[in-house]
Each structure stands twice: as structure tokens, then as C-alpha cells.
A and B are shown apart, each in its own frame.
Chain A
Amino acid sequence: MEFIQSIDWMQLLRCFVVGGIICIIGQILIDKTKLTSARILVIFVTTGVILGALGIYKYIIDFAGCGATVPLLGFGANLAKGAITEVQTSGLLGAFIGGVKASAGGIAAAIFFGYIASLIAKPKIKKQ
């Protein structure tokens, strides 16, 4: 009961709405444009980098939490944030180091779990 009482329902709602809006944008791009999914992913990451670099995305993260960090925009913003911090501490070279450093956990986990999954699973047609 304590766990349930401790949940901030408004926070969950904000997370849900913002994450949902980001996905709606992606769905509209798939349905209404000729962009391939790969390009849409790149657009999302790049937009995240720009919003992160301009300092706008952190307000969205403050507002929506995981609703903003989990989608690809969050990854982009994280890259920008890491690069900026690293430049401040170790100079211009930090622009190349910082982004990857800040997102190293996510990147390594993706490679690690992707590899494990490829060992134990076989790709199949999606069941509708």
C-alpha cells in the first residue's frame, strides 16, 4: 500500500503524455512522409542533440522524466549534455569524448544485450 501511495500519479501522467506525443510525431512521419525508419531515428537523435545543446530539452526532462529520456530524443540530448560537460572540464577534445562517455552505459548495454539475444533467439516474422 505504501508503494502505491508513494506513486506520483501526475508525474506518471506527464511522462505518458510527453512520451506519447514523441511517438505520435514518429508515427505521423512514417505514415505521411516517405522517410525511412532509419532516417526518422536519425532525425530524432539529431533533434535531441540540438534541443539538448540549446538547453531546452532539460526542461522537458524536468517536466516528464522518463517520458523524455527514454525516447531517442533523450539519447540525443544526453550526447549534447555529455559533450558540453566534458569540454568544460577537459577542453575541446571533450566534444568528441563527452557524448559517448555520457551515454556509454546505454550503448554498451545495447551491444551486450543485443549479442546475448542473438545467441539465444532466432529472428521471425512479427505475429500481428
Chain B
Amino acid sequence: MNKIGNQTIMFSNPPYILETSSIVGPKEAEGPLAKYFDQCLEDEFWGEKTWEKAESKIIKENSNAVISKSGIPATDIDYCFAGDLLNQCISSSFGLREINIPFFGIFGACSTFVEGMSLGSVFIDSGAAKKVLCATSSHFCSAEKQFRFPLELGNQRPPSAQWTVTGSGAAILSNDNIGKECPRITYITPGKIIDMGVKDANNMGAAMAPAALDTLVTHFRDTGRKPSFYDAIITGDLGYIGKEILIEMAETKGYNIKKNYNDCGVLIFDKEKQDTHAGGSGCGCVGSVFSGYLYKMLNEHKLNRILLIATGALMNSTSSQQGESIPGIAHAIAIENL
């Protein structure tokens, strides 16, 4: 494991992504990626009394699902990295309190999934762990309630607003592939906090795009790779507005990513049919799109090299109310079939 360039880590024995699992809510189940998800829920309460309990259940069941899919006993998993959007990450800590795996609660807003996979990879390549569980969740209703307005208000959403994905993604990273052919994490480029002064909590895409650009450019500079090296460059949840901004900004830096670039928030919903405005967001967005769709594409060799850049808006409801701007962050991981 070596640091190369400014902020990229190159793994000497790239960790395997042994298995993934995804659970999504009813709206995501009506979207274009429905067939790739492991489980689709019929209602957003999933038999629970509150949305927060439902979200905890989603991350709990999804973590259990990925463990049983992998065939590895839970006792063999050394550490767990998980986080979500709710205050003090209660979905993860309440959902995973019975899982009995040493737990690191992490917060990177919507970038949490990739943050967890980055940290997990370092643990594995350093020899500190053999198997690591990474999980995240988000829930439209609990997120709206915390960050915007109570759903009871029936508030109208402005066109730039993104739709928080109800769902969870979970992955098991491993130091060996136990005889399976699986994709590996070759590089990680942890991002810096970038704040360009965007204050509109209803336009997260614009707030996070500069952070995505910084990480993207740094990754290419550090690794010497070019955008065309990857079959797909996928950001996790800039949405339609942020996606356009990133394409434009990358071009001014001399990187043309138009051909192979897309965004999880754009992929998960059908904008016209589902009235989701600027696209999906939330920890569960990049989590479920990677665990559901992208991982299967990698396994089927339809994609062999991807650069996954998860972006996060590092604000909370108090900072927004006090008129603070929104600091953005983006973490990148290169995932390849070697």
C-alpha cells in the first residue's frame, strides 16, 4: 500500500469486493434499475411504526443479506463501517446494534458508502482485517423530515431539488476471493472539503460538483490515468444539474468525460415518469446503485474498470437555517476486474 501523488492510495494487494446486496423502497422499485436490486419494498414503513425504525430495519436486513449471500459466517467479519444521514447516524447504530461486529460509525453525507469502502480497503491491505462490512442507508421520509419540511406539510419541491433514495447498499470486502471471480479496489482518492459558497439546500448538485471535479482531476493526475481508461466514471448523486456542471467544469480542465460519465442520481429514477426533479440523492443512492446495478455489471464483465466518485454535502439542518454555505466532498475509488 503506497501513497502516490497528492492524495491517492495504491493498493499492493487490491481488496476484493466479495459480495454486495441492496434493498430499495417502492419508488426506486418503479425506476429503471428495479430489476438489479436484491429486494424491493412495497411500502416505506416496512411494518414499522416510524420511518426511522424502517430505515434501521433496511440497513439491518441488508447487512444480514450481504453476509448470508457471501456465505461467510458473521463471526469472520472483522470490522464494520457504516453511516447514514440521520442525526448522529442512528439508522446505522440502531440497525446494527445486534450484529455483533466491531463497528465504526462514519459520516460523509451521501459519500458515506465510498468513504466506508475506502477505509475498509485500507484496513484490509494493511493486514488489520481480513473481511470488512460496509453499509449505508437513507430514507426519503426521514431525510425530508430532518433536512427540509415535514411530509405532512405537503410541501412543493422546487425543480432543482433532488429526491432522497429510500434504500441501502452493503458490501463485503475481503483479502482473498475464496475462489470467486470478483472485482477489486485498486486505488482510492479521498477528497478534500470544497466549499464554493452555494447556500441552497435545494440545489445540492451545484454545491457538490466542484468537490467531484477536484477529486476527479486529482485522481487522474495522481494515477496518470486518463478518463478513457475507465469503462465508466460514475458519480454518486450530483443529479442532473450537478452532472451537467461537472461535465462542463471537467472540460475546462482539459478532461472530456462526456462519453463514459454518468451519475447514480440520474440512473436510479426516470425523471419524466417519476417526477423526481433533479434526480436521486442520499447515502442509499450510490449505495444501492453500486451494490445493485454496477456490481452486477462488473461481475458480468459488461464493465471492467470503473471510477466511482461518491459526493456528499456536509451540512446539517442547523447550518442551513443559519445561512451557512454547503461544503462538498467527493471520494473516489477505482474498481477493476483484474
Cα of A87 to Cα of B145 in the assembled complex, Å: 41
Contact partner of B141 (CB less than 8 A), chosen from A31, A36, A38, A125, is A125
Give A95-119 as 1s and 0s: 1 = Cβ < 8 Å from B's Cβ atoms: 0000000000000000000000010
Interface members, chain A 28-67 (any B CB < 8 Å): 30-31, 34, 36-38
Contact partner of B154 (CB less than 8 A), chosen from A30, A36, A126, A128, is A126
Given the known inter-chain contacts A34-B200, A34-B202, A123-B150, please indicate yes or no for A128 contacting B275, CB distance below 8 A.
Answer: yes
Q: Could you tell me if A124 and B155 are in contact, using CB atoms closer than 8 angstroms?
A: no
Q: Could you tell me if A124 and B44 are in contact, using CB atoms closer than 8 angstroms?
A: yes
Asked if B128 lies at the interface with its beta carbon under 8 angstroms from chain A, I say no
Chain B residues in 8 Å Cβ range of A123:
141, 150-152
Asked if B140 lies at the interface with its beta carbon under 8 angstroms from chain A, I say yes
Give B25-48 as 1s and 0s: 1 = Cβ < 8 Å from A's Cβ atoms: 011000000000000000011000
- B interface secondary structure, majority: loop
Asked if B100 lies at the interface with its beta carbon under 8 angstroms from chain A, I say no
Given the known inter-chain contacts A30-B156, A125-B141, please indicate yes or no for A38 contacting B149, CB distance below 8 A.
Answer: yes
Residue of B nearest to A126 (CB): B154
Asked if B158 lies at the interface with its beta carbon under 8 angstroms from chain A, I say yes
Residue of B nearest to A35 (CB): B158
Min CB gap B304→A, angstroms: 37
Residue of A nearest to B274 (CB): A128
Residue of A nearest to B25 (CB): A125
- A interface secondary structure, majority: loop
Cα of A36 to Cα of B27 in the assembled complex, Å: 25
Interface members, chain B 109-135 (any A CB < 8 Å): none
Chain A residue total in the interface (Cβ 8 A) = 13
Interface members, chain A 76-108 (any B CB < 8 Å): none
Give the most central of B141, B158, B159: most A CB within 10 Å.
Answer: B158
Q: Could you tell me if B151 and A125 are in contact, using CB atoms closer than 8 angstroms?
A: yes
Given the known inter-chain contacts A30-B156, A124-B44, A126-B154, please indicate yes or no for A37 contacting B149, CB distance below 8 A.
Answer: yes
Min CB gap B131→A, angstroms: 36
Chain B residues in 8 Å Cβ range of A37:
149, 153, 155-156
Cα of A38 to Cα of B153 in the assembled complex, Å: 10
Chain B residues in 8 Å Cβ range of A30:
156, 158
Chain A residues in 8 Å Cβ range of B203:
34
Chain A residues in 8 Å Cβ range of B140:
125
Cα of A125 to Cα of B27 in the assembled complex, Å: 9
Give the most central of A34, A37, A125: most B CB within 10 Å.
Answer: A125
Chain A residues in 8 Å Cβ range of B149:
36-38
Chain A residues in 8 Å Cβ range of B156:
30, 37
Min CB gap B181→A, angstroms: 39
Interface members, chain B 179-217 (any A CB < 8 Å): 199-200, 202-203
Given the known inter-chain contacts A125-B44, A125-B141, please indicate yes or no for A31 contacting B27, CB distance below 8 A.
Answer: no
Residue of B nearest to A33 (CB): B158
Give the most central of A34, A38, A118: most B CB within 10 Å.
Answer: A34
Min CB gap A89→B, angstroms: 36
Cα of A43 to Cα of B44 in the assembled complex, Å: 34
Chain B residues in 8 Å Cβ range of A36:
149, 202
Q: Could you tell me if A31 and B44 are in contact, using CB atoms closer than 8 angstroms?
A: no
Cα of A125 to Cα of B30 in the assembled complex, Å: 14
Chain A residues in 8 Å Cβ range of B274:
128
Q: Could you tell me if B159 and A31 are in contact, using CB atoms closer than 8 angstroms?
A: yes
Cα of A128 to Cα of B203 in the assembled complex, Å: 21
Residue of A nearest to B51 (CB): A123
Cα of A42 to Cα of B107 in the assembled complex, Å: 34
Q: List 7 A-B contacts (CB under 8 A).
A: A30-B158, A34-B199, A34-B200, A37-B149, A38-B149, A125-B26, A126-B154
What is the interface of chain A, defined by CB distance below 8 A to chain B?
A: 30-31, 34, 36-38, 118, 122-126, 128
| A34-B199, A37-B153 known, 13 other contacts, Cβ within 8 Å | A34-B203, A36-B149, A36-B202, A37-B149, A37-B155, A37-B156, A38-B149, A122-B45, A124-B44, A125-B26, A125-B140, A126-B154, A128-B275
Smallest CB-CB A-B distances: 4 pairs = A123-B151, A128-B275, A123-B152, A34-B200
